[in-house]
Structure 1
Amino acid sequence: MAGDDVMFLDVGEGDKRRHIAYLHAGAAAPETPSLLWLTGLKSDMVSTKAEALAHWTAPRGLGLTRFDYSGHGRSDGVFEDATVSDWLEESVAVFREVTKGPQILVGSSTGGHLALLLLRRLVETAPDQATRVRGLVLVAPAWDLTEELMWNRYTDDARREIIEQGRWVQPSAYDPAGYVITRQFIEDGRRHLIKNAAFDPGRPVLVLQGVQDKDVPVEHARALADVLGGDWVRITEVPDGEHRLSRPEDLAKLYGLIETLL
């Protein structure tokens, strides 16, 4: 999509007020479902999978909303100043103020964690809004990201640096500069863990997971079925799939999962 299509939503108050960039295409009819895309860490709303979804949904009359978290893409903020609380607040705001009608939450990696947190927040605080969520499709869901996939996997030296210096640069295969992980980010993430405060999603949670994924191990994705209440989780594993799952054959599987919810 052209840059001129980007719109902005104000989220937060006072010094925390920030402009969140988003792209929105409405569904062809009010009763037709739309997708809300929640992107991965350090990704943005015009990533490969997000653009592919835009091209897939448009001719089918399906709506699509996608946005950049603070510290990402076109939105305000610096990555190392942001927290899961910020991104959840932004996700709730976009859902409530931008999307209309029935929605399918589609989250990739960190976006999978936020999709689950968004549904849980809506169920707890706005059940009328939660009824609009028909189901979730999660790609390599990094649930409990800050604890299970970061803190628990870090070396003692990395943990010590985070505690004593307040920050540590996590090496990344996707960015030569690495990702700055702060003590604030880790500590805030503990407010949003799913493992120790599981909930029943009450609707299907369909997972697409690469068996060769080194960032979100397949065992972590499988464990989600035991963490969530009810019998809602179904996992489609891609034997030769890695983390991004953006090859044509991976995208075809993603579209297939979305179609099952349509």
Structure 2
Amino acid sequence: MKIGLIGVGAIANYVREALKSRNEMLAAVLVRPSRVREAPELYVGAVADLPDDLDLVIDCAGHAALVEHGPAVLLRGFDLLSVSLGALADPDTYASLEQAAAKGGARLHLASGAIGALDCLQAARVGQMESVTYIGRKPPQGWKGSPAEDVTDLDTLVSGEVIHFEGSARQAALRYPKNANVAAAVALAGKGFDATQVRLIADATVTENIHQIEASGDFGRFTFQINGKAMPDNPRSSALAAMSVLSKLDQLTRSISL
């Protein structure tokens, strides 16, 4: 495949290195215009400058990048793979991407990010789902730079836990754009943004990011938990989120996939 990439952060760099090992062709990287001069043979500063013959564009640059570039990428007819699921909590963004995809004859593929069990949720929603709750638990420092700082002093939280958010997945994704992609993934797979409940917790007793899903319905009941590790070069980025991009790429390219 001939691939375009959006972003140069930790997840983008992980994907970039993996593409080399898979012999996929990275044709262009979309960056801020001010950074194009760093690698003019590869970097471009606008969607219009991407090559015409791309098979896929992979977005690893966060919510703002998906909002800014996603519709233009889809309008050009490029399929887009993104890990920025939280951006879809905004109805205008969702509609803009959906309309652009339809007009451009392209598709927006969503990577699962730092959580699993989404296939179970997708199957369960075919029947009657009673409830879906996502619980996100991180060490206090994992919430630095988020609205959690308005609720508690993260620097002095050295024992116990503080629930700093309770509400819908839509509210969580919009208030915590750098932390709630998982909540968005759970919502999109299950009951939707407004019917999915979320609790976000700063917990001084844990050292990993812990994601938990609780769901019940006609299918029965299940609880799923993953203790995720961060990427070595960026403690704010999930290693599994980066891996999920490549897993989704595998699904798109293999003749037989699960």
TM-score using structure 1 length:
0.42
More strand by share: 2
Specify which structure has the bigger relative contact order, considering alpha-carbon pairs within 8 angstroms and separated by 6 or more residues.
2
TM-score normalised to the size of structure 2?
0.42
